[in-house]
Amino acid sequence: MAESERAVEGAEAFRAVRASEGMFDDEVVYVSTQRCRVRAEGGRITVTPWGEKEALASFPAEKVKTVNVFGSVSVASSVLTRCQEKGMVVNYFTYYGRYKGSFVPVHNTIAEVRRRQYGCTGARALRIARAMIKAKIRNSRTLLSRKHVTPPGRMKELEEGVGGARTMGALRSVEGEAAALYFACLDECLIEGWSFQKRTRRPPEDHINALLSLTYTMVTNEVISALRQYNLDPFLGVMHTDRHGRPALALDLLEEFRPIFCDAFALRLVNLRVLSHEDFKEDNHLKDSAFKVYLAQYDAYMKEEFRHPVFKYRVSRRRAIIMQAILLRKAMTGEMKRYHPLVFTR
């Protein structure tokens, strides 16, 4: 490769990493530029192309709490050592955003909290799950109302009837019916040129489903990180069944965030024309440049603040998830009599 071509390629890589990582706050770092290496040196977390010395991005190490890496990105042992010493977490994703695993410091585990979590079964687990699903249905109705779509009356009936679910199976049935009614209305929330017929995944069959799946993955990661910060095992849930590699508790807590955080964000990207159909590949994954835009938009969205409906002060969406993890731990360990989900009524 000629020297001039290398310069152009290097400039493009710099713009890519700055667009997705450099604009973010220093607590959460996203590394999506391929063939890069993440290191901890000189009191900073640096991102450097393989085989080169000049850093594409650099962050103060004392502020970084989470590093998210996508695809062909290597993480040096110096970063993992810092994780052990300072409690930082590294999350691994495929290039297209599917969560693969995490490196979590050993001292993030407190045995007594885990013992109480593992003992949260039966009636207590059902009470927590009912609160989560009731919040999900209420938040689904709220999102539709915000988009000037009248929610089906049956959704309100299901929300009010959640307390009558006496088994997890009955609760899942209520949740499934409410979700079907909600998704049947989602098409009305989209601008002209976009449509939503049904929820599909693995793989998503259209562009809007691809955005929903990607956003669910991203917020699930936020939930996993929050649960681990407060020493809960994200793989042992109260409603979602245990399965190898499945973060059941994170998926439980995600339920209340799905409509009001995840779906709302995907709709924003479409309705404000931040992304278009031309930003997707034939397999419905985002193109490289569009994925950078998505990550920048996502991080800004998670840092946006709103007035908390219960505590009445302003918090970011990312902070709100952490607050719910704290409340969930208190409910699971018996410090609180019941779990208080995040509910928006308007």
pLDDT tens across 287-339, in order? 989 999 999 999 999 999 999 988 888 989 998 998 999 899 999 988 888 99
Rounded Cα gap, residues 266 and 210, in angstroms? 10
Strand (E) or helix (H) holding 92: strand 89-93
Instruction: Give the 3-state secondary structure of residue 76.
Output: coil
Helix 207-229 × helix 288-303 angle, to 10°: 50
Go through the domains of the chain in sequence order and give each one's CATH number: 3-108 (3.100.10.20), 111-333 (1.20.120.920)
pLDDT at 132 over 70: yes
Query: Kindly report the CA angle at 243 between 237 and 247, in degrees rounded to 5?
Result: 50
Rounded Cα gap, residues 223 and 217, in angstroms? 10
Rounded Cα gap, residues 253 and 332, in angstroms? 12
The whole-number pLDDT of residue 324 equals 94
| Local confidence band at 109 (pLDDT 50, 70, 90 cut-offs) | low
Least confident of 98-112, 246-260, 292-306, 323-337: 98-112
Please, are residues 270 and 190 in contact by the beta-carbon 8 Å criterion? yes
Mean pLDDT of all residues in 130-146:
97
Please, are residues 137 and 176 in contact by the beta-carbon 8 Å criterion? no
Rounded Cα gap, residues 232 and 188, in angstroms? 38
Question: Look-up: residue for tokens 């909290």?
Answer: 113
Q: Which two tokens stand for residue 248?
A: 């059941």
Instruction: Give the 3-state secondary structure of residue 49.
Output: strand
Question: Look-up: residue for tokens 């691809």?
Answer: 210
Rounded Cα gap, residues 321 and 342, in angstroms? 9
Rounded Cα gap, residues 80 and 280, in angstroms? 34
pLDDT digits (tens, 9 = 90+) for 198-232: 898 878 889 999 999 999 999 998 999 888 877 78
The whole-number pLDDT of residue 50 equals 86
pTM of the model: 0.77
Instruction: Give the strands of the sheet with 28-31, arranged side by side.
Output: 28-31, 66-70, 89-93, 99-103
Rounded Cα gap, residues 28 and 316, in angstroms? 14
Torsion of CA 143, 203, 96, 172, to 10 degrees: 50
Query: Kindly report the CA angle at 151 between 145 and 157, in degrees rounded to 5?
Result: 125
Rounded Cα gap, residues 226 and 121, in angstroms? 21
| Local confidence band at 6 (pLDDT 50, 70, 90 cut-offs) | very low
Torsion of CA 129, 135, 141, 146, to 10 degrees: -140
Rounded Cα gap, residues 227 and 106, in angstroms? 14
Mean pLDDT of all residues in 250-257:
96
